[in-house]
Amino acid sequence: MTAATAYLEHTAITVRDIGWHIRFFAEVFGMGCREVDGDPAAPRQYWTVGGIQLIHDPDHDAPEGRLAHLGLMCQDLDAALTAAHRFDVIELPKGRNWLQLPDGLRLELMQAAPAASVAQALAIDPRAEA
């Protein structure tokens, strides 16, 4: 058994045209708004129902590497942090729950409330027939 149990709660992606991406995920996948940072008509950040966080950066021009961070919901945040620090990770200035792995991947670790929600999320079989 691992020291901590977690699931991917969201993936944060940097995009040039946030409005286009909001419309795309809403119209194609039905992923409506869970949360907005800034003016809803021109948000700085936008979280969909379904786990995508869009971060608006009109100057972003990289062909790859648009991933900003992975948000992991932890059953026990303190246990996960303790386990993570046994590896070569860097704690970021945003807070003790923000880590950077040696290859540059950034993680945001969050405490699930209630902790049982992690087990419920992990019990979902996305390939099971309805």
pLDDT digits (tens, 9 = 90+) for 70-79: 999 888 899 8
- Do 88 and 41 lie in a common domain? no
- Do 76 and 120 lie in a common domain? yes
- Do 72 and 52 lie in a common domain? no
Which residues partner with 111 through β-bridges? 74
Distance between CA atoms of residues 7 and 117, nearest Å: 10
CA 46 vs. chain centroid, Å, equals 12
- Do 73 and 119 lie in a common domain? yes
State the first-to-last Cα distance of the chain, in angstroms, to the nearest integer.
Answer: 30
- Tell me the backbone φ, ψ of residue 56, rounded to 5 degrees: -80, 125
In a domain, 130, yes or no: no
Which residues partner with 106 through β-bridges? 100
- Do 118 and 78 lie in a common domain? yes
- Do 4 and 40 lie in a common domain? no
Q: Between 41 and 122, whose confidence is greater?
A: 41
Label residue 43 by pLDDT band (50, 70, 90): very high
Contact 69, 60 (CB under 8 A): no
- Do 74 and 99 lie in a common domain? yes
- Do 104 and 84 lie in a common domain? yes
- Do 49 and 24 lie in a common domain? yes
- Whole domain around residue 103: which residue ranges? 1-11+68-124
Percent of the chain whose predicted confidence (pLDDT) is above 90: 47
Distance between CA atoms of residues 116 and 100, nearest Å: 27
Comparing C-alpha atoms, which of 72, 56, 59 is closest to residue 20? 56
Overall domain count for the chain: 2
Phi-psi region of 83 (alpha: psi -120 to 50; beta: other; left: phi over 0): alpha
- Do 46 and 83 lie in a common domain? no
> Quick check: 85 pLDDT over 60?
yes
Distance between CA atoms of residues 61 and 4, nearest Å: 37
In a domain, 62, yes or no: no
- Do 2 and 21 lie in a common domain? no
